[in-house]
Homo-oligomer: A and B are copies of this chain.
Amino acid sequence: MNGNDQSKFPTVIIIGGGFGGIEVAKQLADKPVEIILIDKHNYHTFQPLLYQVATGSLECESIAFSLRKNFEGQKNLRFRNAEVTGINQATNTVHTSIGDMQYDYLVIATGSTTNFFGNKDIEHYAMPMKSIPEALNLRYLVLQNLEEANLKASKEERAPYLSFVLVGAGPTGVELAGALAELRNHVLNKDYPELVKDEMKVYLVDFLPKVLGPFSEEGSKAAEGYLKKMGVELMLGAKVENYNGEEITFGDGTSIKTKNVIWSAGVMGVVPEGVSKDAIEKGNRIRTDEICRVVGTSNIFAIGDVAAMITKDTPKGHPGVAQVAIQMGEATGKNILKLLRGEQTVPFKYNDKGSLATIGRNKAIADLGKIKFQGFFAWLIWMFVHLISLMGGRNRVVVFINWIASYVTYNGGNRIIIRKFAREELHQKDMQVSQVD
């Protein structure tokens, strides 16, 4: 029983239990359809807080939520923990690691993965942070390198272990830079009294001349100010040439010796085999029409990070953020029902609620349309929005307690290494993450 049962209702297959896929399934609850939700993980990942898992501030299980538990009681949904190996648009089939499944409607909500822009060295040696296993690998690398540094006799030998180079100054890079700076400023000497705090360096690199590219000028400037005050070294307008595991080199001929390069400089869509090549846009995204329907198809939709809805108003598609995925998911669920009823579909219109990013305690940037502010109040808003967006009451309470403990003690989290990270296994583990894990 891989999925398809005898049923008089049409089958909607959703690939991916991220923000978008979940929203489609919610919209179709109690409606005359059979839903099969497929995900290679049995949980939903709350990606905006991955960086706190990487720095050991949060347990990974607080930002993961069981997909089965989430859909308890939704009688028209079956969950399948499987890997999609491809689709066949001609026969309406999804091929998976547990067998083939037939659909009437298909929603591709597979999200995005790290884009190394074809540089194999960087892909091999730099750390991505797009999934929970990747965030855990990063945490273990950071902690192991602090342990290593602690054993070295000279400042020169310690430097590569204590240098953290973050490439990509979008929200992920900025938030991680802030968290690493706080780790240095408040925690390092408590955990490692033998280390000298100032020897730990956090570099934030971007090709653009500013941080938080998509934010307002005002927000971007404020973030730069916060980062500098916390001791993050900004390298803006800098082009990364290569990284060989020991040294990262830049376009201007400079370099930094480091064992820690974290790459959040770009993403690309995760497209299942079998999607027509004609529909693939820049960034490996799937081109759709105004109702999120994949161009050239009548019954396949793409939403969220993997979708590129290219219209007059959105010549580059939409930004790869949770709000787009959620709103596309809602619209697609509703439009599938309209198609089933023979009603007129409604074009998707993105309602941009604004952007938030935090840099550290009491410091955040809020760009909410015309209203822009920074600092303590923005930080409270950031916390509130992230808490209510988390899935599961227990997760909300546990994250809230962790944040309170961190705020009060300046020493939150529980920096433990469950499984040793071995650099030579990184590539292999990446493969597992994308293929099996």
CB–CB B191/A414 < 8 A: no
Contact of A416 among B61, B153, B402 (CB under 8 A): B61
Contact of A395 among B65, B414, B436 (CB under 8 A): B414
Q: A residues near B, CB below 8 A? A: 1-2, 41-43, 59-62, 64-66, 68-69, 72-73, 75, 78, 81, 98, 132-133, 136, 143, 147, 150-153, 190-194, 392-395, 397-398, 401-402, 405, 411-412, 414-420, 432, 436-437
Q: How far is the CA of A153 from the CA of B1 in the complex (A)?
A: 6
Q: How far is the CB of A427 from chain B (nearest CB, A)?
A: 16
Question: Which residue of A59, A61, A151, A416 has the most chain B CB atoms within 10 A of its CB atom?
Answer: A416
Closest partner residue, chain B, to A422 (CB atom)? B436
CB–CB B418/A66 < 8 A: no
Q: How far is the CA of A88 from the CA of B395 in the complex (A)?
A: 49
CB–CB B437/A414 < 8 A: no
Q: How far is the CB of A146 from chain B (nearest CB, A)?
A: 9
Q: How many copies of this chain does the complex contain? A: 2
Q: Report the 3 A-B pairs with minimum CB-CB distance, sorted nearest first.
A: A43-B416, A59-B61, A68-B191
The interface residues of chain B lying within 8 Å CB-to-CB of A432 are: 419-420
Q: How far is the CA of A287 from the CA of B122 in the complex (A)?
A: 53
Decide: A192 near B68, CB < 8 A? Known: A59-B62, A62-B59.
yes
The interface residues of chain B lying within 8 Å CB-to-CB of A418 are: 60-61, 64, 132-133, 136
Q: How far is the CA of A436 from the CA of B417 in the complex (A)?
A: 12
Q: How far is the CA of A64 from the CA of B395 in the complex (A)?
A: 18
